[in-house]
Structure 1
Amino acid sequence: MIKLKAQDAGLSIAEFTRRSVLLKPLPRRLSKITLATYRELVRIGNNINQLTRATNAAIKMGVQPPAYPYQLAELRNLLQEIGRELSSIETEVTDDDDIDDEDKEEWE
C-alpha cells in the first residue's frame, strides 16, 4: 500500500515515508490545462523581458522605444497577479483531465 501511494505521489518510498512521518505535504498533481497555462505565462514573461530590454536600450540611445515603461510595468504586474491566482487554486487531477501516461510524471 505504501509503495502504491508513493508511486501515485511521484515520490520514492523513502521520500514518501519522510514526508508522511514529518507531516510534510505531498506535491500536488497539476492538470494538463494548468501546466499549459504556466508554460504560456513563462513564454509571455520572456517576451516582456525582451521588450523591456529593447525599450531600455532605445531610451538610452534617445530613440522612440517600442513600448512605454509604465505599460511594461503594468503587464508585469498583471502576469504576477495571474501567477498568484493560479498558484492559489487547488488543482487536483480528475478523470476529466485526460492525463496521458507521459503527463503522470509532471508534478509541482
Structure 2
Amino acid sequence: MIKLKAQDAGLSIAELTRRSVLLKPLPKRLSKITLATYRELVRIGSNINQLTRATNTAIKMGLRPPADPEQLEQLRNLLQQIGRELSQIETEITDDDDIESDGDSEDWE
C-alpha cells in the first residue's frame, strides 16, 4: 500500500516516508484530464514554435512566410491564457473529479 501511495504521489518510498514523518505536505496531484490537456498544449505550442521559426526565416530571406506572424502571436497568447486558466481551475479540482479514478477516495495528504 505504501509503494502504491508513493508511486501515486510521484515520490520514492523514502521521500514519502520522510514527508509523512516530518508532516510535510505531499505534492499536489493533477487530474488525468489536466495532465492530458497540458501535454496537448505542449504539442500545439511546439508546432506553433516550429511554424514561427519557419515564418521568421522566410521573412529574413525575403520569401513569402508560411503563416501570418500576427496570427502566430495571437495563437501563442491564447495558449498562454489557456495554460493560466487551467492552472487556476486545477486548484479547484479534487481527485473525485478524475473520470478514470479507481474509486479510492482516501485522502492521504
Distance 2:80 2:69 in 1: 17
Contact 1:28 1:92 in 2 (8 A): no
TM-score (norm 2): 0.70
1:69 maps to 69
* Structure 1 alignment gaps of length 5 or more: 101-108
Q: Hey, what's the Cα distance between the residues in 2 that align with 1:13 and 1:47?
A: 38
Within 2, Cα distance between the matches of 1:27 and 1:83? 19
Corresponding residue of 1:94: 96
Deviation at 1:18, TM superposition (A): 3.6
Structure with greater helix share of residues: 1
What is the distance in 1 between the residues matched to 2:45 and 2:57? 18
Which one scores higher on RCO, CA 8 angstroms, separation ≥ 6?
1
Q: Note the C-alpha offset of 1:5.
A: 8.7
Name the structure 2 match of 1:47. Answer: 47
Give CA deviations for 1:7-42 in whole Å, capped at 9, x if unaligned: 35342343124434263x322222221111111101
Task: Please report the RMSD computed on the Cα atoms of aligned residues, expressed in angstroms.
Answer: 2.6
Aligned-residue sequence identity (percent) comes to 71
Shift of 1:94: 1.9
Residue identity opposite 1:93 in structure 2: D
Aligned pair count reads 98
1:80 match:
80
Contact kept, 8 Å, 2:9 with 2:27, in 1: the verdict is yes
Q: TM-score, normalised by structure 1?
A: 0.71
- 1:51 is paired with a residue whose SS is helix
Show the counterpart of 1:34.
Answer: 34
1:58, 1:64 within 8 Å by CA — same for their partners in 2? yes
Alignment partners' CA distance in 2, 1:10 and 1:54: 38
SS in 2 for 1:54: helix
Give unmatched runs, 5+ long, in structure 2. Answer: 103-109
State the distance in 2 between where 1:79 and 1:44 align: 8
